[in-house]
Amino acid sequence: MTELEAGRAETLVPVRSGAALQRYRDVLIALVAFAVLASLPLFTGSKALLDFLIRCSAYGLFATSLNLLVGYTGLTSFGHGMFFGLGAYSFGLIMQKLGVPIPVAFVATLAITAVIAAIIGAICVRLKEIYFAFVTLAFQMLIHSTILSWASFTGGDQGLRGGIPRPVFLGINLANHVHLYIASCALLILGLLAMRQIAQSPFGYTLRMIRDNAARASFLGIDVWRAKLTVFVLAALFASMGGMVMALFVSGAYPEFAYWTISGEGIFINMLGGVSTFLGPMVGTVLLLLLNDTVTRFTEYHGIVLGVVILFFALGLRKGLLDFVADWFAHRRETGEGR
Amino acid sequence: MDLDALAGCLSSSACLVTQTTSGLIIGMLLFLVAVGLTLIFGVLKVVNFSHGAFYMFGAYFAMTAYQLTGSFALAMFAGAAGTAVLGLIFERVFMSRVYGADVLMQLLVCYAFVLIFDDVVRIIWGPEFKSMGMPAAFQVMPLFIAGGVVPPYYLLLIGVALVAAIVLGIGLSRSRIGKVIRAAAHNPGMVSALGINTGLIYGGVFALGGMLAGLAGALAAPVRSLTPGMGFSVLIESFIVTVIGGMGSILGALIGALLLGLIRSFGSLGFPLFTEGLMYLFMVIVLVSKPTGLFGKEAA
């Protein structure tokens, strides 16, 4: 169905002639980024740094997938964190109960997420703006309450304890810290690359058109509901990947992963980094995690510090950091040419 | 799941009365918070994510005033008036800067204040659970209605909330200020052109909303424990109330709050672990069948 829309969209939205070139460039950047990240353990033995980057991978996948909804499609989801929690829980449960190899559990979790996201999305994406936000929030809390109350299966408020088994697969031992780190980076880079392809594809431009003028998109023959549902499910898959990385990292799953605050943090990360650039959420992720880590080290009142920083971004810059930088560069280039 | 307990309660008048009153006080407190939320949304078109903080401050103000003066009436006044002033300052200094901005930006400012206010309370009053205690005037024998136990304080609480609902409803539909507020909600540019200070109205509505939440907090202080972050669950529940009742509708907030209160009190018997889940399920059902809420107006 996306091909069909893509075909239509292509005639509507002029895709840049250098699309193939840009794709090669993206792949090249991804390869270089992965090479740099993967060679990091050769230079530093710092466990804290690697831990930090693993957490960045988990949150980065989640936040960037949320940006597909918020930034590209204009769907402000307050419940995107449910798929983060869902990924963590279903991955953990499959590994604990069935003992299958990790890639099998990985694919199975993605399949489960896709089905659930399709059902929830089918209900939600019909609704507009603030109502969409609240229904997604309600579903998030519904899943959170289910996890809490179905204690015999999910461990209730204690979370999924006892550790997630991490059997060796093709020589990759995720119980080994460096292996886990490299696997997380690989997932992050692959996920980002895939999301970049979605964002730059004709389907991605269809989403931007829906964001800017859904009625017009509909007049032009695009099935808006279908396109929104498709991106809702796609975004859920990447969020679920983030959840799986998190579950592997902490070797468990906790109800907080499915609590609405995760969604709130995702929105916050997006605002911090900026929603109009692809890498904005990634910048936001690093900023928020750095901020959290440093502030909690210095004061127990990190709420005040975090709040003031948010206010600085919201009232001072009025946009995310990367948006601000991008605008600043654009402005400078313009004035530079004018001279 | 414990459906036997629920069925047993429904067949006993004593249990029925007890559960209904406890549902009503949950509902009435929720109504006071939610009606402020819905009022602010209706007029300012802002979803006040920090509304729970006003509930929290109301409770803490009331507790401090009660400890200082020993007067319950003064404690209620301190809770309501203190949060009204806070709401006015908050709106004029911060929220008024982001009216034209993205909804996300408004949410972000509110989110920042949720974090800040919680820590402010932690610094001033300490992180531990506090309790205001039941005022001496209400430490009397509970009433027995059809075998059910009803503490007199519950009746006061329900009465105050009902009075607030009636005054608000009549004030908005009949009084001059109410008409101006409704006009400002409809077309602020026109109201402003007619020489009315809309900034003052926005500030006033925000203060009124904050005051109602503060009053709810003050009323809840004798029966609930006080802790930083106590506003949060109330905030989420009053969101559900406004969404179920329809954003911007006062009657909707009342009905939604009472329904939710009853779901909570009876749900805790039948589904002790899934009570919260029931509320969200109810919200999903309402929104799917009628996206604008039970009493919401269709978007133009």
Q: What is the pLDDT of residues A292-304, one digit of tens each?
A: 788 777 777 777 8
Distance CA B93, CA A67 (A): 30
Q: In the prediction, which pLDDT does A337 show?
A: 57
Q: In the prediction, which pLDDT does A115 show?
A: 94
Q: In the prediction, which pLDDT does A283 show?
A: 85
Query: Does residue A97 carry a pLDDT above 50?
Result: yes
Q: Which CATH architecture has domain B3-126+143-289?
A: Orthogonal Bundle (1.10)
Closest to B264 measured CA to CA, from B240, B285, B286, B247: B240
pLDDT digits (tens, 9 = 90+) for B152-183: 888 888 888 889 888 888 888 888 888 888 88
- Give the model's confidence band at B300: pLDDT under 50 very low, under 70 low, under 90 confident, else very high: very low
pLDDT digits (tens, 9 = 90+) for B25-39: 889 999 999 988 888
Query: Does residue A237 carry a pLDDT above 90?
Result: yes
In this complex, is the C-beta atom of B232 within 8 Å of any C-beta atom belonging to chain A? Answer: no
Identity of the highest mean pLDDT range in A63-67, A174-178, B132-136: A63-67
Residue pair A100/A94 in contact (Cβ under 8 Å)? The answer is: yes
- Tell me the nearest-neighbour CA distance from B2 into chain A, angstroms: 13
Distance CA B289, CA B244 (A): 11
Neighboring chain A residues of B116 at a CB cutoff of 8 Å: 303-304, 307-308
Q: In the prediction, which pLDDT does B297 show?
A: 66
In this complex, is the C-beta atom of A63 within 8 Å of any C-beta atom belonging to chain B? Answer: no
- Closest CB to A301 among B119, B236, B276: B119
Distance CA A27, CA A202 (A): 18
- Tell me the nearest-neighbour CA distance from A121 into chain B, angstroms: 12
Q: In the prediction, which pLDDT does A110 show?
A: 92
User: What pTM, to 2 d.p., does this model score?
Assistant: 0.79
Q: Once rounded to an integer, what is the mean pLDDT over residues A237-256? A: 87
The SS3 assignment for A56 reads helix
> What are A284's two structure tokens?
């936001």
Least confident segment among A202-206, B88-92, B231-235: B231-235
Residue pair A42/A182 in contact (Cβ under 8 Å)? The answer is: no
In this complex, is the C-beta atom of B159 within 8 Å of any C-beta atom belonging to chain A? Answer: no
Which is more confidently placed, A216 or A170?
A: A216
Query: Does residue A8 carry a pLDDT above 50?
Result: no
Distance CA B15, CA B22 (A): 11
- Average pLDDT of chain A, as a whole number: 80
- Average pLDDT of chain B, as a whole number: 83
**Is B98 within 8 Å of A310 when comparing Cβ atoms?**
no
**Is B283 within 8 Å of A138 when comparing Cβ atoms?**
yes
Query: Does residue A15 carry a pLDDT above 70?
Result: no
Query: Does residue B299 carry a pLDDT above 50?
Result: no
- Closest CB to A310 among B97, B112, B281: B112
Q: Once rounded to an integer, what is the mean pLDDT over residues B212-222? A: 90
Residue pair A323/A270 in contact (Cβ under 8 Å)? The answer is: no
- Give the model's confidence band at A112: pLDDT under 50 very low, under 70 low, under 90 confident, else very high: very high
Least confident segment among A4-8, B71-75, B248-252: A4-8
Q: Once rounded to an integer, what is the mean pLDDT over residues B72-91? A: 89
**Is A307 within 8 Å of B123 when comparing Cβ atoms?**
no
Q: In the prediction, which pLDDT does A281 show?
A: 87
Q: Once rounded to an integer, what is the mean pLDDT over residues B244-257? A: 84
pLDDT digits (tens, 9 = 90+) for B191-202: 888 888 888 888
Residue pair A313/A321 in contact (Cβ under 8 Å)? The answer is: yes
Whole-complex ipTM: 0.72
> What are A262's two structure tokens?
């995760």
Backbone angles phi, psi at A143, to 5 degrees: -65, -40
Chain B interface disruption, residue of A145, A265, A305, most B CBs within 10 A: A145
In this complex, is the C-beta atom of B16 within 8 Å of any C-beta atom belonging to chain A? Answer: no
Q: In the prediction, which pLDDT does A12 show?
A: 46
Residue pair B43/B205 in contact (Cβ under 8 Å)? The answer is: yes
DSSP A314: I
User: Counting every residue, how long is chain B?
Assistant: 300
Distance (Å) of CA B182 to CA A49, B34, B190: 56, 18, 12
Distance (Å) of CA A140 to CA A94, A183, A310, B275: 21, 28, 24, 15
Distance CA B221, CA B131 (A): 7
pLDDT digits (tens, 9 = 90+) for A265-275: 888 888 878 77
Chain A interface disruption, residue of B102, B104, B260, most A CBs within 10 A: B104
**Is A301 within 8 Å of B98 when comparing Cβ atoms?**
no
Neighboring chain B residues of A306 at a CB cutoff of 8 Å: 112, 115
Least confident segment among A45-54, B67-76, B86-95: A45-54
- Write the burial class of residue A39 (CB in 10 Å: 0-12 exposed, 13-18 middle, 19+ buried): exposed
Distance CA A41, CA A176 (A): 12
Considering only alpha carbons, which residue of chain A is nearest residue B280?
A: A138
Q: Once rounded to an integer, what is the mean pLDDT over residues A115-144? A: 83
Q: Determine which helix (DSSP H) or strand (DSSP E) holds B128, and give its type and residue range.
A: none
Residue pair B125/B60 in contact (Cβ under 8 Å)? The answer is: yes
User: CB neighbours (10 Å) of residue A24?
Assistant: 10
- Give the model's confidence band at B298: pLDDT under 50 very low, under 70 low, under 90 confident, else very high: low
